[in-house]
Structure formats: structure tokens, C-alpha cells
């Protein structure tokens, strides 16, 4: 009798599982799963709930420009963006997303409150602030703010930078400077990033992370 | 140290010329396989190994890997063929094989390239909430017959089938789940628990009996061949709680002991409760876990006979901690676990006069009613770009001395320490214990290379300061702990 009870219990468990709610699904190949469910159930494992990442290995997505997220997810889905971090973590995640899910994810993160709280500066903010707000005329470097906004808030396909994870910024500036083909959508940044010295990159990342 | 390194290099140059050539051939052959050759979870998520495994080294999990496991292996798309395999080819060498009266039997695979083990995995996402990790392992050296010939055997290895749900509210994030598994702590997402605090690969100890994989590791008195149901919760990725119970494997979970001979099973009286708690902290690129676990079990001496007078009573407890700093391309991990096991013996084993006598022919002390074993194990590892890495670890097993644990001693008839089968109390060579003290201490150093994500080539060297209670002459035949120092070179491949 006992095996029968066990089998019945197991069958009930599977039936219960079959009645799963798409709003709590982790299926990446199911177009019925809404973007918010994917954000909460899957993306949050690296980018944090509501897009606030707890690891500086991964970017904050909260308050990011929807057009930027949309374009990046499409680029990752098509494997056109192939910087190491993008390929390792994101190719699989983006692989089966539908256009609608990408749009929902972009809208979800754009609507979340931006990262807040004090981030400890590692160096004198004046160098980074100068580069961000005024650029460096002698090297022909434009101000970051001229495209990314005075507050680093981004604009459409140009990403929000303010309060972004420092280590993520360092890595991406290195990619945009040294291997621009790995992020084809960021090609416009190559000419700028290539002019940045290592000290400039550190100063900029530090300033932006503390904005 | 220089002398030791020189000795190691010379031995590598001479003893391993052919074996290394064979390992190189294995690598070259594997290189010919398509780059998409990746195991089942990778196929399901489309992600690289290093998304879930720190520095790409199995089995240590990243924070993402922990959430993948706790949410029931359900992230991704169900694969059409949910199977994967892994195999290990290795060669090992013990420092001294001369102190044995039958080296060809005791070290029969020394310096030989062997297929050390092979596993088949099934699992991954089954439904939105149900997933599995099922491992079935072939050990080519599972047993040895009277002529010394080895016989291979395939049997159930770690298995974990779970139901999980994740409730995300405006201020809290709660993962809830239930796991049916066959090894206490195998459901745990951290790698300092008994089931996962290990170097991989771990080949059959029969073929490589003193390598790190055969050195002391945490383990529950209940053993690994039981089955149980545990429920767990992970709140805000901060507080982890798991509780459940294990029983003798039978009924609907009988597949979890598939292929295991009765002699290898653990037969439990009733339920053996298991409780685990951990706190997890994340900041910057760091995560820190501090936790503990406890288990109580009553184990029949003979798994074939449920005789209540033969019960061993175990109470295990442990504290463990794991720190990870994962910032591409770096993966640094520090791990430590301290365990305590109290073992109360059944009446027929306690208070017994041992067959051995002392050097003067006097009877030894009666065997103890109970023993306490303590194990400290710590490890630091670093991997760069999920390609090159190394680690160092320390182990220290200590506990009460007990004449019950003596497997070497003076024979009352001859007054000598002898392995002769005609002796009233024959001793055990090489693995013998002359003192009844369990103390075994040592370190392991490892360097490894992952030319791509499903191939790992490594070399480990394990040093022993004490073995079976002594630094010198631990088996009564003059064998010293350092004679067991072992080099282990392996190629691990997964598909």
C-alpha cells in the first residue's frame, strides 16, 4: 500500500507543477511568460530584484533607458554583441526571447527607481567630473554629458550611466576602447574610449559610480 | 622544498613519459569534438559553465548557480535529450611503494593511466517548478577478487529531484522548495557541505588510494546511500533554512540506490533528521556564507539485517563558511568546514577485548563505548579567465583513540606484527592503524588548466604529516605518513 501512496503523492506533486503560474515561470523559451516574470525569476539572479545588482560584476538595470536595453538584448540574441561577459552570461538568456518579451523587459527596467545610496569614492572626483562634464579639449575628447546627459541619465539608445557599478564600467570601457567589434552598437564610443588613458578610465568609472 | 620539487620533476620526467603522452592524446582527441559539446544544464540555459560554476570549475557554484539550483534547475528551455556524461582519465603515483610485503597488490595501478570513473547525468527542467539532477557513475575499480583482478560497477550517485517556487513581493523575495535526494546535504547550494566539499574529479580510491579524493572529507554517519525528503527556504538571498529526514532507500525512491550492492547501502532505523541553516551576504564582487548543519542517525551494522542490537548511533554537527570574490576574469574562493561526529557503538562492539596484544603480550584496553571524530578542512582556490587556476587545501582529522579502530598490532600467537593469514590477529599493511588513533593531517596543492569549458587537466600533490594516528610507522610495518604523499594527474572531460 505504501508504494501506492508514494506514487500518488508524486503524481499529485507533478499535477501541481503542471498548474504552474506563468507569472512565476523561469521558462526562457515560452512566449507566454511575461517580461516581468523573467525579470523577477531569472534576470534578478545577477541584476538583482528591480534591477539593482548586488554584485559589481553585473550592471544595474534599474531606470536604464528602454531603447538601450531593447537594442542590447536584440544584439545579444543575435550574438552580434560578443564581449566575453555578454557571451558567457547573456547569450543563453537572450537566446529565445521574443520581441515582445524584450520590449516588456526594457519597459520594466526603465520604470524601476534608479540606484540610490552613497557609493564610496576611491579617488579625487575632480578628474572624473572634469572628463564627464567638460571632456578634454587637448585630446579632442567630448564631454560624456553631451550624449549621456548632465546627470548621466542617458537618452534613448544612449545608456544611463549614473550610479552604475564601477567594475562593470571599467570592463565595458576597456571593451569599447580595445575591442569595439565586440559591441557593435557601441562603435560610436570607440573613438572616444580609445583616447582615454587607463587613469582616465579609472577616474571616470569612479565618478560615474558615485554620481 | 627545492629537493621535493626536484624529486617531483624527476619522477614526472621518468615515470610519466608514457602516461603523459597518453593524456596529451586524450586532449588532442577531445579537441576534435565540436565546440558546442556542453552538458545538459548548458544546453538548457545556453550559458557558459562559468555562469553557474566559479571560474568554470565544477562543482563550486556562483551566486547565479546557487539560484539556478534552488529554483529547481528550471531556468531555460527543456532540452530534447536531457543527458550528459563525464569521464576522467588519470595517473597517480604514491611516493613510496617499497614498504609493503606485496607492492604489486597494494599499488597495482601506481603510475598507470586509468579510466578513473565515468558518469552519466540526466536532468534539468521537467516542468515550470520541477527539475532534477541525477548522476549514475561507473567505477572501473569497484571491487577486487581473490586473484587481485578489479571489477567495474555502475551505480546511482548523487540524485536530487526538486519542486521549487519563487515568490517575489514588493519588499521580499522567497524561494521555497522540496527536494527528494539520496545524500544528506546534496540539495545544498554551497560547496562547504559534506556532499560538495570536494575536489573534482574524485576517482575510485581503489586505483589511487592516497590522493586527495581519498583523504578525510566531511560525511554524515548516515552515509550517502539513503534517501530523504527535505524542505528549504531562501529568504531575500540572505537566510537559508533546510530541514528534513532520511530513511533506508525503498519504495518509489528505490531508483536512488540503483545498482548499489546491499553491502554498500546504509540501513537506517526510522527517520534520520537533518537540519541546515546559513546566512548569506553579498557586497561588491564578494559573497560570504556562514552556516551550520546537524544530523542524527541510527545505522544498522549490517545493511542486510535490521537487528536493533547492532545499531550505531551517530550525531553529526558542522559549521562551515565560504567566501567568493568573483569579478571577471578572477574567481577567488575560500572555504572552511569543521565537523564533529559522535559515534556510539552497539553493545557487541563496545567494551570488547581486541584480538591484538601489546609488545609484551599483555591484553589491550577494551574497545570504547563511543568515539568523537573532528575534521577541519580548508581550501583556497583561484582561477583566472576560467582557464588557469590553482588551489591549496588543508585537512586535519582528529579524534579519540579506540582499540576497536586498530587494524594492526601484535599477534598473540607469534608476538609479532604480521600479515600472515595463519596469525590469530593478522595486521593490515599499508592502510593499517597501529594506535587506534584516527589522526590524519596533510595538505593538497593543485594546478589546473581548462583549455575549454568541458575539459580540465590538472595535477595535484597531497602531502601527509600524519596518517592513521602517527607520523612514523603508523601501520606497524615501518610505513610513515609521508610515504603516502601522492601525485595525481588527470584529464576530466564532460559532454
Look at residue B179 and tell me if it is in a domain.
Answer: yes
Q: How confident is the model at residue B364 (pLDDT cuts 50, 70, 90)?
A: very high
Are B77 and A29 in contact (CB < 8 Å)?
A: yes
B74 interfaces chain A, CB cutoff of 8 Å: yes
pLDDT at B6 over 80: no
Are B168 and A40 in contact (CB < 8 Å)?
A: yes
Q: How confident is the model at residue A7 (pLDDT cuts 50, 70, 90)?
A: low
Please report the pLDDT score of residue B201 as a whole number: 80
pLDDT at A1 over 50: no
| Contact by Cβ (8 Å): B341, B315 | yes
Residues 6+ apart with CB under 8 A from B85: B39, B118, B119, B120, B121, B494, B495
The C-alpha of B150 sits at a distance from chain A's nearest C-alpha, in angstroms, of: 37
Name the percent of chain B lying above pLDDT 90. Answer: 73
The C-alpha of B72 sits at a distance from chain A's nearest C-alpha, in angstroms, of: 10
B46 interfaces chain A, CB cutoff of 8 Å: yes
Please report the pLDDT score of residue B12 as a whole number: 35
Question: In terms of residue numbers, what domain contains A203?
Answer: 125-209
Look at residue A67 and tell me if it is in a domain.
Answer: no
Look at residue A157 and tell me if it is in a domain.
Answer: yes
pLDDT at A123 over 90: no
Look at residue B153 and tell me if it is in a domain.
Answer: no
Please report the pLDDT score of residue B244 as a whole number: 97
Q: How confident is the model at residue A3 (pLDDT cuts 50, 70, 90)?
A: low
pLDDT at B329 over 60: yes
- CB count within 10 Å of CB A34 equals 17
More confident residue, B425 or B207: B425
Please report the pLDDT score of residue B169 as a whole number: 94
pLDDT at A117 over 90: no
More confident residue, B36 or A73: A73
Instruction: Specify the number of domains making up chain A.
Output: 1
Are B74 and A42 in contact (CB < 8 Å)?
A: no
Are B76 and A27 in contact (CB < 8 Å)?
A: yes
Q: Collapsing DSSP states into helix, strand and coil, what is residue B120? A: strand
A117 interfaces chain B, CB cutoff of 8 Å: no
B325 interfaces chain A, CB cutoff of 8 Å: no
Q: Which residue is associated with the grid cell 544544464?
A: B41
B383 interfaces chain A, CB cutoff of 8 Å: no
B35 interfaces chain A, CB cutoff of 8 Å: no
pLDDT at B417 over 90: yes
pLDDT tens string A131-188: 999 999 888 899 999 999 999 999 999 999 999 999 999 999 999 988 889 999 988 8
CA distance A168 to A48: 15
Which residues of chain B lie closer than 8 angstroms to A165, CB-CB?
Answer: none
Q: Collapsing DSSP states into helix, strand and coil, what is residue A27? A: strand
Are B328 and A57 in contact (CB < 8 Å)?
A: yes
Closest residue in chain A to residue B72, using alpha carbons only: A26
Alpha carbon distances (Å) from B264 to A42, B156, B258, B337: 40, 11, 11, 26
Nearest CB neighbour to A28, from listed B76, B127, B327: B76
Are A55 and B47 in contact (CB < 8 Å)?
A: no
Average the pLDDT over A83-92 and give the result: 93
Which residues of chain B lie closer than 8 angstroms to A55, CB-CB?
Answer: 63, 282, 284-285, 287, 326
Look at residue A10 and tell me if it is in a domain.
Answer: no
Closest residue in chain B to residue A12, using alpha carbons only: B163
Which candidate in A45, A51, A77 is best for mutational testing of the B interface (most B CBs within 10 A)?
A45
The C-alpha of B46 sits at a distance from chain A's nearest C-alpha, in angstroms, of: 4
Are A93 and B46 in contact (CB < 8 Å)?
A: yes
Please report the pLDDT score of residue B101 as a whole number: 74
Name the percent of chain A lying above pLDDT 70. Answer: 91
The C-alpha of B166 sits at a distance from chain A's nearest C-alpha, in angstroms, of: 7
Please report the pLDDT score of residue A194 as a whole number: 86
Name which of B43-47, B64-68, B203-207 the model is least confident about. B203-207
The ipTM assigned to this model is 0.92
Q: How confident is the model at residue B205 (pLDDT cuts 50, 70, 90)?
A: low
- Please, which residues bridge with residue B463 across strands? B443
CA distance B40 to B333: 25
A179 interfaces chain B, CB cutoff of 8 Å: no
Which candidate in A52, A57, A98 is best for mutational testing of the B interface (most B CBs within 10 A)?
A57
The CATH number assigned to the domain holding B338 equals 2.40.160
Average the pLDDT over B413-436 and give the result: 93
Please report the pLDDT score of residue A2 as a whole number: 55
Are A55 and B237 in contact (CB < 8 Å)?
A: no
A25 interfaces chain B, CB cutoff of 8 Å: yes
B281 interfaces chain A, CB cutoff of 8 Å: no
Look at residue B254 and tell me if it is in a domain.
Answer: yes
Alpha carbon distances (Å) from B257 to A6, B138, B251, B375: 17, 14, 11, 28
Are A14 and B282 in contact (CB < 8 Å)?
A: no
The C-alpha of A17 sits at a distance from chain B's nearest C-alpha, in angstroms, of: 6
Provide the mean pLDDT of chain B: 89
DSSP character string of B336-368? EEEEEEEEEPPTTTTTPPPS-B-TTSPBPPPPP
Look at residue B291 and tell me if it is in a domain.
Answer: yes
Which contacts (CB < 8 Å, 24+ apart) does range B384-387 have? B384/B55, B384/B329, B384/B330, B384/B331, B385/B329, B386/B48, B386/B49, B386/B50, B386/B55, B386/B56, B386/B57, B386/B329, B386/B331, B386/B450, B386/B453, B387/B56, B387/B449, B387/B450, B387/B451
B71 interfaces chain A, CB cutoff of 8 Å: yes
Look at residue B256 and tell me if it is in a domain.
Answer: yes
Average the pLDDT over B327-340 and give the result: 96
Q: How confident is the model at residue B140 (pLDDT cuts 50, 70, 90)?
A: confident
pLDDT at A10 over 80: no
Please report the pLDDT score of residue A11 as a whole number: 62
Name which of A198-207, B159-168, B222-231, B480-489 the model is least confident about. B222-231
Which residues of chain B lie closer than 8 angstroms to A24, CB-CB?
Answer: 128, 165-168
Look at residue A13 and tell me if it is in a domain.
Answer: no
pLDDT at B362 over 90: yes
Alpha carbon distances (Å) from B31 to A98, B305, B340: 35, 50, 45
More confident residue, B116 or B353: B353
pLDDT at B35 over 50: no
Nearest CB neighbour to A26, from listed B75, B282, B326: B75
CA distance A66 to B48: 27
Which candidate in A9, A21, A30, A55 is best for mutational testing of the B interface (most B CBs within 10 A)?
A55
Which contacts (CB < 8 Å, 24+ apart) does range B346-351 have? B346/B301, B346/B309, B346/B310, B346/B311, B346/B312, B347/B309, B348/B301, B348/B309, B348/B310, B349/B301, B349/B404, B350/B404
pLDDT tens string B237-276: 999 999 999 999 988 888 999 998 888 889 999 999 999 9
- Please, which residues bridge with residue B494 across strands? B86
Please report the pLDDT score of residue B55 as a whole number: 92
Please report the pLDDT score of residue A55 as a whole number: 94
Up-side HSE of residue B234: CA atoms within 13 Å toward CB?
Answer: 23
Are A24 and B163 in contact (CB < 8 Å)?
A: no
Look at residue B141 and tell me if it is in a domain.
Answer: yes
CA-nearest of A22, A21, A18 to A33 is A22
Name the percent of chain A lying above pLDDT 90. Answer: 72
pLDDT tens string B95-139: 999 887 777 778 888 888 988 889 999 999 999 999 999 999 998
Choose from A5-19, B203-217, B258-272 the range with maximum mean pLDDT: B258-272
pLDDT at B423 over 50: yes
Instruction: Specify the number of domains making up chain B.
Output: 1
Question: In terms of residue numbers, what domain contains B213?
Answer: 2-145+158-494
Are A20 and B47 in contact (CB < 8 Å)?
A: no
Look at residue B150 and tell me if it is in a domain.
Answer: no
Look at residue A181 and tell me if it is in a domain.
Answer: yes
Average the pLDDT over B67-92 and give the result: 93
CB pairs under 8 A between A and B: 121
The CATH number assigned to the domain holding A186 equals 1.10.760.10
CA dihedral B246, B251, B253, B258 (to 10 degrees): 110
Please report the pLDDT score of residue A206 as a whole number: 94
pLDDT tens string B160-202: 999 999 999 999 999 999 999 999 999 999 999 999 988 778 7
pLDDT at B11 over 50: no
pLDDT at B92 over 60: yes
Q: How confident is the model at residue B16 (pLDDT cuts 50, 70, 90)?
A: very low
| Contact by Cβ (8 Å): B490, B457 | yes
More confident residue, B225 or B427: B427
Please report the pLDDT score of residue B279 as a whole number: 98
pLDDT at B74 over 70: yes
Closest residue in chain A to residue B171, using alpha carbons only: A49
Are A3 and B45 in contact (CB < 8 Å)?
A: no
More confident residue, A116 or B312: B312
A98 interfaces chain B, CB cutoff of 8 Å: no
Look at residue B311 and tell me if it is in a domain.
Answer: yes
Which residues of chain A lie closer than 8 angstroms to B126, CB-CB?
Answer: 17
DSSP character string of B180-222? EESSTTTT-SSTTSTTT-S-S----TTTSTTSGGGS-----TT
Look at residue A110 and tell me if it is in a domain.
Answer: no
B326 interfaces chain A, CB cutoff of 8 Å: yes
Closest residue in chain A to residue B165, using alpha carbons only: A24
Q: How confident is the model at residue B19 (pLDDT cuts 50, 70, 90)?
A: very low
Residue A164, burial from CB neighbour count under 10 angstroms (0-12, 13-18, 19+): buried
Nearest CB neighbour to A3, from listed B251, B283, B329: B251
Please report the pLDDT score of residue B28 as a whole number: 43
| Contact by Cβ (8 Å): B164, B72 | yes
Which residues of chain B lie closer than 8 angstroms to A101, CB-CB?
Answer: none
Are B63 and A45 in contact (CB < 8 Å)?
A: yes
**If you count DSSP H runs as helices and E runs as strands, how many of each does chain A have, helices first?**
12, 0
Average the pLDDT over B137-149 and give the result: 84
Amino acid at each position: 500500500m505504501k508504494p501506492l501512496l508514494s506514487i500518488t503523492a508524486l503524481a499529485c506533486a507533478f499535477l501541481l507543477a503542471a498548474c504552474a503560474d506563468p507569472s512565476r515561470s523561469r521558462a526562457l523559451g515560452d512566449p507566454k511568460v511575461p517580461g516581468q516574470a523573467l525579470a523577477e525569476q531569472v534576470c534578478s539572479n545577477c541584476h538583482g530584484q528591480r534591477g539593482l545588482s548586488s554584485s559589481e560584476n553585473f550592471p544595474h538595470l534599474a531606470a536604464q533607458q528602454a531603447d538601450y536595453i531593447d537594442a542590447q538584448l536584440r544584439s545579444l540574441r543575435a550574438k552580434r554583441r560578443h564581449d566575453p561577459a555578454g557571451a558567457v552570461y547573456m547569450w543563453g538568456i537572450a537566446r529565445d526571447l521574443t520581441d515582445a518579451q524584450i520590449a516588456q523587459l526594457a519597459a520594466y527596467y526603465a520604470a524601476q527607481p534608479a540606484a540610490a545610496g552613497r557609493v564610496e569614492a576611491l579617488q579625487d572626483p575632480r578628474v572624473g567630473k572634469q572628463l564627464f562634464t567638460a571632456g578634454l579639449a587637448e585630446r579632442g575628447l567630448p564631454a560624456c554629458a553631451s550624449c549621456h546627459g548632465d546627470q548621466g541619465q542617458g537618452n534613448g539608445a544612449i545608456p544611463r550611466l549614473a550610479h552604475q557599478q564601477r567594475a562593470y564600467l571599467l570592463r565595458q570601457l576597456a571593451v569599447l576602447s580595445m575591442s569595439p567589434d565586440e559591441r557593435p552598437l557601441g562603435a560610436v564610443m570607440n573613438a572616444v574610449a580609445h583616447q582615454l588613458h587607463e587613469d582616465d578610465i579609472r577616474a571616470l568609472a569612479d565618478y560615474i559610480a558615485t554620481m | 622544498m627545492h629537493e621535493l620539487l626536484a624529486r617531483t620533476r624527476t619522477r614526472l620526467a621518468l615515470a610519466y613519459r608514457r602516461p603523459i603522452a597518453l593524456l596529451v592524446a586524450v586532449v588532442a582527441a577531445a579537441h576534435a569534438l565540436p565546440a558546442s559539446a556542453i552538458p545538459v544544464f548548458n544546453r538548457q540555459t545556453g550559458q557558459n559553465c562559468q555562469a553557474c560554476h566559479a571560474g568554470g570549475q565544477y562543482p563550486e557554484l556562483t551566486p547565479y548557480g546557487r539560484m539556478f539550483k534552488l529554483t529547481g534547475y528550471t531556468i531555460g528551455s527543456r532540452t530534447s535529450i536531457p543527458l550528459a556524461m563525464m569521464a576522467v582519465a588519470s595517473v597517480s603515483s604514491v611516493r613510496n611503494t617499497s614498504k609493503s610485503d606485496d607492492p604489486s597488490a597494494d599499488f597495482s595501478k601506481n603510475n598507470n593511466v586509468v579510466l578513473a570513473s565515468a558518469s552519466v547525468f540526466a536532468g534539468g527542467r521537467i516542468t515550470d517548478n520541477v527539475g532534477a539532477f541525477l548522476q549514475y557513475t561507473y567505477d572501473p575499480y569497484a571491487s577486487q577478487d581473490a586473484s587481485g583482478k578489479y571489477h567495474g560497477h555502475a551505480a546511482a550517485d548523487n540524485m536530487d529531484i526538486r519542486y521549487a517556487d519563487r515568490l517575489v513581493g514588493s519588499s521580499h523575495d522567497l524561494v521555497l522548495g522540496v527536494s527528494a535526494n539520496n545524500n544528506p546535504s546534496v540539495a545544498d547550494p554551497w560547496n562547504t557541505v559534506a556532499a560538495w566539499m570536494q575536489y573534482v574529479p574524485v576517482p575510485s580510491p581503489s586505483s589511487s588510494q592516497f590522493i586527495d579524493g581519498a583523504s578525510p572529507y566531511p560525511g554524515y554517519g548516515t552515509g550517502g546511500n539513503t534517501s530523504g525528503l527535505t524542505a528549504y527556504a531562501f529568504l531575500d538571498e540572505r537566510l537559508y533554512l533546510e530541514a528534513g529526514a532520511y530513511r533506508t532507500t525503498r519504495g518509489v525512491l528505490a531508483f536512488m540506490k540503483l545498482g548499489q550492492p546491499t553491502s554498500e547501502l546504509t540501513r537506517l532505523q526510522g527517520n534520520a533528521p537533518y537540519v541546515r541553516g546559513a546566512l548569506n551576504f553579498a557586497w561588491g564582487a564578494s559573497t560570504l556564507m556562514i552556516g551550520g548543519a546537524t544530523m542524527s542517525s541510527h545505522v544498522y551494522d549490517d545493511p542486510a539485517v535490521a537487528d536493533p542490537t547492532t545499531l550505531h548511533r551517530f550525531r553529526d554537527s558542522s559549521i562551515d563558511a565560504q567566501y567568493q570574490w568573483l569579478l571577471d576574469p578572477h574567481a577567488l574562493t575560500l572555504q572552511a568546514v569543521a565537523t564533529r561526529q559522535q559515534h556510539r557503538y552497539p553493545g557487541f562492539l563496545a567494551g570488547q577485548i581486541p584480538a591484538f596484544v601489546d609488545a609484551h603480550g599483555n591484553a589491550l584496553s577494551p574497545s570504547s563505548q563511543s568515539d568523537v571524530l573532528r575534521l577541519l578542512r580548508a581550501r583556497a582556490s583561484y582561477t583566472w579567465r576560467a582557464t588557469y587556476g590553482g588551489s591549496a587545501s588543508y585537512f586535519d582529522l582528529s579524534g579519540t583513540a579506540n582499540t576497536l579502530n586498530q587494524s594492526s598490532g601484535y599477534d598473540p600467537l607469534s608476538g609479532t606484527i604480521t600479515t600472515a593469514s595463519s596469525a590469530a590477529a593478522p595486521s593490515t599493511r599499508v592502510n593499517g592503524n597501529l594506535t587506534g588513533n584516527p589522526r590524519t593531517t596533510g595538505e593538497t596543492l593543485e594546478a589546473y588548466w581548462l583549455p575549454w569549458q568541458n575539459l580540465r587537466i590538472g595535477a595535484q600533490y597531497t602531502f601527509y604529516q600524519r596518517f592513521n594516528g602517527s607520523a612514523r610507522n603508523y601501520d606497524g610495518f615501518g610505513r610513515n605518513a609521508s610515504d603516502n604523499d601522492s601525485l595525481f594527474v588527470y584529464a576530466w572531460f564532460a559532454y
